[in-house]
Chain A
Amino acid sequence: MSDELHSMMKRIQELSFAKLETELYLDMYPECRRALNYHQKLRDQLEVLVTEFENKYGPITTDGVVGDGWNWVKTIWPWQTDVMRGER
């Protein structure tokens, strides 16, 4: 497993986390312009990064399956760090 995969996934997790935090805030303050702008910025950044990740390393959602085969079931599942470390 490449370092780039891990650093890209970490960045996706960071952006997704910030986006979710903003969404919970917006649920309670739906008119907040600052939060809306911040949310849009995060969406734009995530869209680019997720597409790049899915093209390189495999799908994050089933919509992200690219190419001929059904690689949804071929890439590693998120809890299988033993497989990532080559222990299994």
Chain B
Amino acid sequence: MWIYEKKLQYPVNIKNPNPRLAGVIISQLGGPDGELGAATRYLNQRYTMPNGEVIGLLTDIGSEELGHCEMVAAILYQLTRNLTTEQIIAGGFDKYFVDHTVGIYPTSASGTPFSAAALACKGDPVADLNEDLAAEQKARVTYDNILRLSDDPDVNDAIKFLRQREIVHYQRFGDALRRTQDTLNQKNYYSYNPEFNWNKMPRNTEK
């Protein structure tokens, strides 16, 4: 169950519309390393994880990523206010506009609609936590690339916040991987999969 809070995690206050930039930033909503993929990746992976700590972390980071979807959507909304036809065409936003007007549709910058193929749930904690570490770094690189393409300080302020969160999540997932490996067979992490051979795991959830 979730509860909505009527506030952004970090303020987004963009004064100047910029359809070209919106067409790039949309990848962090619906692209392969975007926030929607992050939220669904973590929230789906958590169900079969072997310990309460990792389930808690995936729940809380996954929920934060939903808030990041809202922040990216707020950036897109504010970058596409009051556009003229000339601005839409000059900014290369016409191909998006013809299908979605200025509605917020999750797609990559190159036009591929959001796909569950962008996320992974292997059902093994070592595999999935390594996936999550890579996902955070890939999202960080995308934000780095956005910062290379943007010269609007209002946009960059929010993007820098989101970029920093990728780094913090990477640190926490590193802790989660180490914690997971500490509870497995130290001579062979791969001797069983605690998400499948769960009866071999020591119980650490209070009843």
**Given contacts A9-B7, A61-B5, are A28 and B175 in contact (CB under 8 A)?**
yes
Cβ contacts under 8 Å, A17 to chain B: 9-10
Q: Helix, strand, loop or mixed for chain A's interface?
A: helix
Chain A residue nearest in CB terms to B4: A61
Contact between A24 and B60 (Cβ–Cβ < 8 Å)?
Answer: yes
Does B3 make an interface contact (CB < 8 A)? yes
A81 in contact with B78 (CB, 8 Å): yes
A47 within 8 A of B: no
Q: Chain B: which residue is nearest A64 at the CB level?
A: B6
Give the chain A neighbours of B8 by CB distance below 8 A: 13, 78-79
Contact indicator A24/B61 (Cβ below 8 Å): yes
Q: Is the CB of B6 within 8 A of A59?
A: yes
B70 to A78, Cβ gap below 8 A? yes
Whether B6 contacts A77 by the Cβ 8 Å rule is yes
Cβ-based interface call for A60 (8 A): yes
Contact of B13 among A21, A27, A28, A81 (CB under 8 A): A81
CB pair A81 B3 closer than 8 Å: no
B64: chain A residues at CB < 8 Å are: 20
Contact with B along A7-47 (1 / 0, CB 8 A): 00110110011001101110111100000000000000000
Q: Which residues of A contact B135 (CB under 8 A)?
A: none
Q: Give the Cβ gap from A66 to chain B, nearest Cβ, in Å.
A: 14
> Which A-chain residue is minimally distant from B6 (CB atoms)?
A60
Q: Nearest chain-A residue to B178 (Cβ)?
A: A28
Q: Please report the C-alpha to C-alpha distance between residue A27 and residue B12 in the assembled complex, in whole angstroms.
A: 28
Does B74 lie at the interface of the complex (its beta carbon under 8 Å from any beta carbon of A)?
Answer: yes
Residues in B neighbouring A23, C-beta threshold 8 A:
60
Contact of B53 among A12, A16, A30, A88 (CB under 8 A): A30
Contact of A12 among B7, B77, B168, B172 (CB under 8 A): B7
Q: Are B73 and A79 in contact (CB under 8 A)?
A: yes
For B81, the chain A residues whose CB sits under 8 A away are 82, 87-88
Is A55 part of the binding interface, using a Cβ–Cβ cutoff of 8 Å?
Answer: no
Q: Do B6 and A27 touch (CB < 8 A)?
A: no
Q: Is the CB–CB distance between A27 and B168 below 8 Å?
A: no
Contact between chains at A78 and B74 (CB < 8 Å): yes
9 more contacts with CB within 8 A, not counting A17-B10, A60-B6, are A16-B5, A20-B64, A59-B6, A79-B12, A79-B73, A79-B77, A82-B81, A87-B82, A88-B81
Listed A/B pairs (9) with beta-carbon separation below 8 Å: A16-B5, A17-B9, A28-B175, A60-B7, A72-B6, A75-B6, A78-B74, A81-B13, A82-B82
